[in-house]
Chain A
């Protein structure tokens, strides 16, 4: 290639001979490393950058020379090949230019040439990190539970206050369902907290799959969950509760065998003709959940079953 064209490339390009010595060094590299082509010529990367110890680069060059085709060194795994300081990026935690490296060969034996291209990908890393910030803000959303991404207790109360007024005005029922994973502490003790967390996550997913879009699924705390179903009568809510209990028993949550995780549920109904306060509604659902536990767990109690 015409050397002047080679110097116009917006990426770093060098060519090495079969013994890994630099035979070409473009303008980009000179600008970023302050090493002139004359100085680089005839030297290996190890000689030019004495602190550079990169066995993976050496192997990739070997592999390319031995007929393995082009090789890449990703910024994810290596960050960079040649140390190039980018001072104003230090505050982003990126003191050095991130590089995507591509290695290709031409020719054979002693005439072989290794073409190493270095592409600056620092800006895309910055973009990704900006997206990470947004994602993390979502994670920390005040209304969400960080583990399951369900709504949290605080949101349940806010939502109930609002819906309570609406339901009274437009006279529609609201079903409240309290659910609890049976013997969750024993699961945690036996399988560890990592599995415990995954059981919670899988259970949360199962709950969201069993309800309508307008319904609210929330983690109330620990292994306790709440589902609020506006415009839903007692029979339908009981049906939903029984299906959740049944599905939980059959499912493999957190990779545990089906049947190892069960849940109990209590369902209460807000009826505009005989209205309960929001706290009474949840208290009633909780009382029935307690009855389901007392009656042997793995079941739903949908009306008063006080013996």
Chain B
């Protein structure tokens, strides 16, 4: 299954609205202008496709924040964070005054990243709910670390497909420069596409 030109256009628009909302919240949190690029959207049907699209190695350890969706849209959203990006972001958030070592950093980092992941996911989900005029309930965010391929495998579930959304993100005055990657489980992807088709057909 491939996205038609209309579906591609609609999902990019949807992603752009969601990520812009997230950027607005992040700009308040970081007290800095957040620059975002045009999102890239792809429907991937196997682990290799996702890995290639993300330009990571499959065995790479990645951090992620995930939230379950229920209501009119059911499934799972995963926000991927490359460890290098998260370290940079984390140190920027806390400032150079807090240079911590070892175990403790990880506990703080997980906490901060869960909050950031929550901001990004809920911004995207609320934009979707607005645009699709649907009610979506979201679970509380969970943090996890896993091999990239295992994580995608889990996200694919039985339907063997995910909607992958990526967008570059930079903070204007800080050395924060990374890529937001959101993976929607196939069930969500199909429902979003169906809603998008209803909109584009109207």
Interface residues of A (CB under 8 A from B): 55-56, 59, 63-64, 66-77, 100, 102, 128-129, 131-132, 135-136, 138-139
Output the nearest chain B residue to A138 by Cβ-Cβ distance. B102
Q: Contacting A76 at CB < 8 Å: which of B24, B108, B118, B123?
A: B108
B104 touches A69 (CB 8 A): no
A66 touches B126 (CB 8 A): yes
B114 touches A72 (CB 8 A): yes
A295–B35 Cα gap in the complex (Å)?
53
A68–B123 Cα gap in the complex (Å)?
6
Which B residues are in CB contact (< 8 Å) with A100? 111
Q: Contacting B101 at CB < 8 Å: which of A66, A74, A75, A136?
A: A136
Q: Contacting B28 at CB < 8 Å: which of A56, A72, A135?
A: A56
B25 touches A59 (CB 8 A): yes
B112 touches A77 (CB 8 A): yes
Residue from the set A55, A59, A63, A100 with the largest chain B CB neighbour count within 10 Å? A63
A74 touches B111 (CB 8 A): yes
A261–B48 Cα gap in the complex (Å)?
34
A135 touches B103 (CB 8 A): yes
Q: Contacting B126 at CB < 8 Å: which of A55, A63, A136, A139?
A: A63
B123 touches A63 (CB 8 A): yes
Given contacts A73-B115, A139-B101, 6 further A-B contacts (CB under 8 A): A69-B137, A74-B111, A77-B94, A135-B101, A135-B103, A136-B101
Interchain Cβ contacts under 8 Å between A and B, 28 examples: A59-B28, A63-B25, A63-B123, A63-B126, A67-B126, A67-B130, A67-B136, A68-B125, A69-B126, A69-B136, A70-B140, A71-B122, A72-B114, A72-B118, A74-B112, A76-B111, A76-B115, A102-B140, A128-B108, A129-B104, A131-B103, A131-B104, A132-B101, A132-B102, A132-B103, A135-B102, A135-B103, A139-B102
